[in-house]
Amino acid sequence: METLVWIVHVLAALGIIGLVLMQHGKGADMGAAFGSGASGSLFGATGAANALSRATKILVIVFFLTSIGLTYFSVSKHHKPLAVPVQQEAPASQVPAPPQPPAGGKAQDIPK
């Protein structure tokens, strides 16, 4: 499943690169008005821009979804729940006794 998501991710990235390179800049509209050939295309002068924009938007959405999917795969692969060891209670004979203050001493007599 992860391999399929990787393939779709790479194809979406390549598609975005291609579509962005095919789109005209803001200044290209004036050239189309003077007969550069874009106005006689299949979609018309503005139709091609709209179709390319829509296709780019769809590929960007696919790219982000596959990015989230790959992040999920990465987190689930590397962050498995830790096994917490169960501590057994030691018998009373093995439990060390708490430290006792010195004989006849008080807490005030302890040097700092």
Is 70 within the bounds of a domain? yes
Q: Residue 88: what pLDDT? A: 72
Q: Residue 23: what pLDDT? A: 85
CA-to-CA separations, 36 to 33, 39, 65, 90, in angstroms, rounded? 7, 8, 38, 89
pTM: 0.53
Q: What is the C-alpha to C-alpha distance for residues 62 and 7, in angstroms, rounded to an integer?
A: 12
pLDDT per position as a tens digit, 28-59: 555 555 655 554 455 555 566 788 899 999 99
Where helices occur in 1-112 by DSSP H, the ranges are 2-22, 28-33, 45-78
Is 104 within the bounds of a domain? no
Q: What is the C-alpha to C-alpha distance for residues 31 and 61, in angstroms, rounded to an integer?
A: 31
Q: What is the C-alpha to C-alpha distance for residues 66 and 1, in angstroms, rounded to an integer?
A: 12
Is 72 within the bounds of a domain? yes
User: Residue 64: which domain range?
Assistant: 2-25+43-77
**Number of domains composing the chain:** 1
